[in-house]
Structure formats: structure tokens, C-alpha cells
Amino acid sequence: MTAINQARSRTKLYGWIDPTLNFSNSGHNNAPEANDDYANRVEMNQIVLYAERLPDSVQREHVDWGYHLTALYGTDYRFTIGKGYGSGQLLNDHHQYGFDPTLEYVDIYIPKVAQGMNLRVGRFISVPGIEAQLAPNNYIFSHSLLYAIDPFTDTGLMATVKLNDQWLVQFGITDGHDVAPWTVDAKPSGTACLSYTTESVNDNFYVCANGINDGKYAYNNLQQYDATWYHKFSKSVHMATETWYMYEREVPSLGGTIPPETGANAAYCLPGEQRCTAPEYAVVNFLQKELSGHDFLSFRSDFLNDKKGQRTGFATRYSENTITWCHWIGSTVQIRPELRFERAWDMRAYDNGRTHNQFTVASDLIFHF
């Protein structure tokens, strides 16, 4: 890949292979934990190939363009798949392994709008959040409960405008979360975000209203209000905190006469209700300590309240704590062993509703190419 990418073309090809291993006290599956959904197994979570051309956005003289294509195969396709993008392999056939063209977009950089504007058109990662779908873009191998149930990808147009060195704004129009424009679940949805970085560059605050429409029940039609805060304590210690509130309206009641949509849960509505509003809120904190140029420790604390059980299938509060060590072997291999403990406080939600608590020991091994 180094030889290929040394060519004069600005298009670069690269990717990674990400096998994983986990041991769990759950015997069936680790849900709602992600991305090691299958308990006590060796898995191939991701085989990913990128093709991308980055726009030149560090100049103010001319319009430039770029693009990005992602091909993903593995068990993690279930956490990136959008309805209408080959989703039958998951929603209908329940395949353990699958393929997803996770990202396909074009960037157009326009330097004369404020201090630079990027227009992104296509399918892209849903904008707010600390964690991301692609393995190397995360501090820890497993994901927070907060991440596991929020939007993954959106399809539409997103404008990112740099106002000055402190302020950045984003506006977008999409077809909703995790759906293709040609599906019946697609509906015009708005996104608006604001980012502020202090002059010291020790703090960043980022707030978003994401995928906003009428909020009526549809496949992952989440109304998301998200805020993140990054803080640097020193050259070797920093933290990242995220919180969100999400809901859907008119969700079918569990046990009612209105069937839920394939791939979307019903809600624990009040007795006698056929539909209800299903809200959830969550908060997560990451604390990172760099040990050397090849090693860092990360500690994550996570809380989720799935008030009506519509996102996880169980109406309960969850907590999760994970500690991991990330080690680079040379410049191409990462290993990330972790210890994780989580609890469902109000009802048994782990191991298909058999237990309140779950303990996992896991690791992934990322081979970059």
C-alpha cells in the first residue's frame, strides 16, 4: 500500500483488518454491548478498505474537492448498516457476517465563505459524538452503551463553515438516520451544530440537534440532542465527555395490537396505550493517559436510561465501566485489551434477560495496511 500511495495521484487506498476475542459471563450474546455482540468467540469484526481524496482545505485561493468510499465486511456491519443499503442480510436473514458500503460522499471546499466552507454530499457518519463506527477511530475496542443505540450514518448534505479560530457551525439536510433515500422511512430531517474552541485550545464544546423532523415512529427516526466537551489537563492527560437525549413519538406498545417495524423494537408503554413516546438519555466520560509514544490507558464510565426499552428491548437504567490499554507495535499494528463491567439496574437485561450483570474480558488487534 505504501508503494501504491507514493504515486502522484491524490487518491489514497488504505484500510485495516480487525480480529477480536472476548470472554463473557453471558452465554448467548453480550447485547446491548457493542461491538463484541457475540459472547465467548473469536470474530472478524472489520475488514475495511478506504479510497479517498482529501480536499485541500488549508488554503484560501481556490475551490477544491475530494471524495471518500468505504467498503466494510465483518460482524460489525450490523452497527453500520442502513435500511435500504443491503439491509436484508441483517433485518431479514440475520447473517452473522455481512458487507456494508458504509461511507460514500463527495466533499467540495469553498475557501471564500467565511474562513472556509466544506460541503459534504452523500452517505456519511452522523455528525455528533466521540466514538465512530470504524475501529481505529476510537479510544477503546468496545463501545459505550450511549454509542450502541444512537444514529450511525446519515445520507444528505452537510455544510461545515469555519467562522474564525474559535467558532465553527454546521447545517445539514438528510433523509433521517440509518435509512436510504429510496425507503419508505426516509423523511426530510434537519441538523444544526455549533462548535467553540477556547483560545488556549484546552477546551472544545460542541452541541448538535441532529436529524430533527416530526419524530414519528419509523426505522431509527431518532430525534437527537447531543453535547460534547473535550478538555486537556496536560500534554499527556485529557478527557472527553458526551451526553445526549433522544426520543421517538407514537412507538407501538409492547404486547399491543400494532406490530413494530422489522428491525425496530416496540416500547414499554403504560397499560392500555397502543402507542407512546419513547425517550432515552445517556452520558459517557473518557479519561486518557499517554504513557509513551506507543502506549496509552483509557478509562470509560457510561450511564444510559432506556426509559421505555425501545432502544435495547429492556426498560432499565444501565451503567458501564471499562479500562483498556492501547499499545502500538511499530506503526501498523494496534492491540487493545480491556476489562469491562456493566449492570442493568431495574430488570434483567443481559444474556437475553437472564442476568443483571455482565463482565467481559476482550481485545482487538488492528492490522493497518
Per the CB < 8 A criterion, the answer to whether 181 and 172 are in contact is no
Phi/psi region, residue 243 (left: phi>0; alpha: psi -120 to 50; beta: rest), is: beta
Grid cell for residue 281? 438519555
Q: Examine residue 214 and state whether it is found in any structural domain, yes or no.
A: yes
Q: Examine residue 10 and state whether it is found in any structural domain, yes or no.
A: no
What are φ and ψ of residue 32, in 5° steps?
-85, 20
H-type helices in the chain, by residue range? 2-5, 88-91, 145-148
pLDDT given at position 7:
60
pLDDT given at position 4:
60
Q: Examine residue 11 and state whether it is found in any structural domain, yes or no.
A: no
For residues 80 and 137, give the distance between their C-alpha atoms in angstroms, rounded to a whole number: 14
Asked if residue 32 has a cis previous peptide bond (ω within 30° of 0), the answer is: yes
Per the CB < 8 A criterion, the answer to whether 128 and 174 are in contact is no
Per the CB < 8 A criterion, the answer to whether 328 and 302 are in contact is no
Q: Examine residue 5 and state whether it is found in any structural domain, yes or no.
A: no
Which string of b and e fits 278-292 if b means at least 16 CB within 10 Å?
bbbbbbbbbbbeeee
Residues in the chain: 369
Residue 47 domain boundaries = 20-368
pLDDT given at position 3:
59
Q: Examine residue 302 and state whether it is found in any structural domain, yes or no.
A: yes
- The whole model's pTM is what? 0.94
Which of helix, strand or coil describes residue 30?
Answer: coil
For residue 293, give the CATH number of its domain: 2.40.160.10
Q: Examine residue 66 and state whether it is found in any structural domain, yes or no.
A: yes
What are φ and ψ of residue 91, in 5° steps?
-70, -35
Q: List, as one string, the DSSP characters of 293-354.
A: TTEEEEEEEEEEEETTSTTTSS-EEEEEEEEEEEEEETTTEEE--EEEEEEESSS--BTTTT
Phi/psi region, residue 245 (left: phi>0; alpha: psi -120 to 50; beta: rest), is: beta
Q: Examine residue 3 and state whether it is found in any structural domain, yes or no.
A: no
Total count of domains within the chain: 1
Per the CB < 8 A criterion, the answer to whether 335 and 329 are in contact is yes
Asked if residue 35 has a cis previous peptide bond (ω within 30° of 0), the answer is: yes
Per the CB < 8 A criterion, the answer to whether 257 and 274 are in contact is yes
Question: pLDDT 10s digit of each residue in the chain, 369 long?
Answer: 565 666 667 999 999 999 999 999 999 899 999 999 999 999 999 999 999 999 999 999 999 999 999 999 999 999 999 999 999 999 999 999 999 999 999 999 999 999 999 999 999 999 999 999 999 999 999 999 999 999 999 999 999 999 999 999 999 999 999 999 999 999 999 999 999 999 999 999 999 999 999 999 999 999 999 999 999 999 999 999 999 999 999 999 998 999 999 989 999 999 999 999 999 999 999 999 999 999 999 999 999 999 999 999 999 999 999 999 999 999 999 999 999 999 999 999 999 999 999 999 999 999 999
Phi/psi region, residue 84 (left: phi>0; alpha: psi -120 to 50; beta: rest), is: left
At 173, which amino acid appears? I
Q: Examine residue 14 and state whether it is found in any structural domain, yes or no.
A: no
Per the CB < 8 A criterion, the answer to whether 129 and 229 are in contact is no
pLDDT given at position 1:
57
